Amino acid sequence: MVTGFSTRAIHAGQDPDPTTGSVIVPIHATSTFAQDGVGGTRAGYEYSRSANPTRTALAECLAALESGRHGFVFGSGMSATDTLLRVALRPGEHLLIPHDAYGGTFRLVDKVLAGWGIEYTPVDLADLAATRAALRPTTRMIWCESPTNPLLGIVDIAALAELARDAQLRLVVDNTFASPYLQTPLTLGADVVLHSTTKYVGGHSDVVGGALVTDDDELAERLTFAQNAVGAVPGPFDAWLTLRGVKTLAVRMERHSDNAERVAAALASHPKVTRVLYPGLPEHPGHEAAAKQMRRFGGMVSFQVAAAPGADPATEALRVCASTRLFTLAESLGGVESLIEHPGRMTHASTEGSLLEVPADLIRLSVGIEDADDLVEDLLTALG
Ligand code: PLP
């Protein structure tokens, strides 16, 4: 039966427990499973690093939401990234990453995997000619985000997928900012989707996790092997919390999008704000591509504020970040509560001095699902 998004979020992988009838998937807090004779597992489970039923439920649910056949869940978004990159690339091979990649992804590639012989080039992946020009005979993967963190850049995923197919490369999409409710990259031609489920998928800032979804059977087999061999798995309680959060993803994303549209419009007309980065604004360079591939424009808004002439460009941005009352100054994003942060000094500090350095006057908002009037008033008061 073909079902809608919320039906899948609430039911996929989550049949009532066959033993007790428990409507909610139990937290299978066990490291090991009794066997009926050597090699005789009762339901295919033998040890929780290899597989655990609570984790399986979440992986199946996320695969269904991303319209993919194989889902994997990890202890964090970064461990999902690391496992995928080490499975898909060999020393001496090359990948393209966004010129404004998430700072943690950049740090992993630049500080860890580069030491292991993986080569990379940061590129503006919205520019297809520049992307094509950056390919090498050893390039095996294009890694993209859309929208990007923290500059809210948009790439045309279908066009990039076509480019990747022509060049016989894998396209991976970090879909953390959009969530599967707003965008499903596999249906646009991507090979793998990655999530930091810490963000919108979990949705309540109470659990860290990551996920991969793919239709590629051979890659899925290698990921299964690598995840068991390396062990970057979430515990059953973390998988359960994420599964609890994902059930309301559609209603949360609608409200995040409503509120972010209100916030972006209010910021765009404020005299101290020099630029608002939100793909829902018609003047955003990626607006058309975003409107084509996303259901709505999401809850993330970044903006730049002018500092007084001669002052450190970060001064005013840091002052605003310290002045809001409802927007909590904190890293991370995608929870029901609104957060504010200074990427240059916080989430993206690892990009300082690199090609990926973010503007010093940039502020990033994760717009929550509180009342929009209160959020707008908080920001306008902080801006002064
Ligand atoms: N990808 C994006 C776009 C992110 O924003 C983050 C974290 O902020 C990650 C990946 C890494 O996820 P985690 O923090 O769950 O390891």
Of the candidates 102, 130, 129, 112, the one whose C-alpha atom is nearest the C-alpha of residue 121 is 130
How many C-beta neighbours within 10 Å does residue 216 have? 17
Region for residue 230 given its phi and psi (left: phi exceeds 0; alpha: psi -120 to 50; beta: otherwise): alpha
d(C-alpha 232, C-alpha 183), whole Å: 26
pLDDT digits (tens, 9 = 90+) for 1-38: 779 999 999 999 999 999 999 999 999 999 999 999 99
pTM of the model: 0.97
Only one residue has tokens 């699902």, namely 369
Q: Where are the domains of the chain?
A: 5-246, 251-383
CATH code of 5-246, in short, is 3.40.640.10
Question: Is 200 touching ligand 1 by the criterion CB < 6 Å?
Answer: no
CATH topology of domain 251-383: Aspartate Aminotransferase, domain 1 (3.90.1150)
Residue 354 has pLDDT above 90, yes or no: no
Residue 199 among the catalytic residues:
yes
Q: Which residue owns the Cα nearest ligand 1 atom 13?
A: 77
Enclosing H/E stretch for 174: strand 170-174
Alpha carbon distances (Å) from 1 to 4, 12, 59, 180 = 10, 12, 19, 20
Question: Is 175 touching ligand 1 by the criterion CB < 6 Å?
Answer: no
The ligand 1 atom nearest the CA atom of 331: 8
* Residue type, position 23, single letter: V
Residue 292 among the catalytic residues:
no
Question: Is 146 touching ligand 1 by the criterion CB < 6 Å?
Answer: no
Residue 167's Cβ-side half-sphere holds a number of Cα atoms within 13 Å equal to 24
Range name among 1-5, 101-105, 150-154, 303-307 with the lowest pLDDT average = 1-5
d(C-alpha 151, C-alpha 359), whole Å: 9
pLDDT score of 313: 85
Question: Is 198 touching ligand 1 by the criterion CB < 6 Å?
Answer: yes
Residue 127 among the catalytic residues:
no
Confidence of residue 334 (pLDDT cuts 50, 70, 90): very high
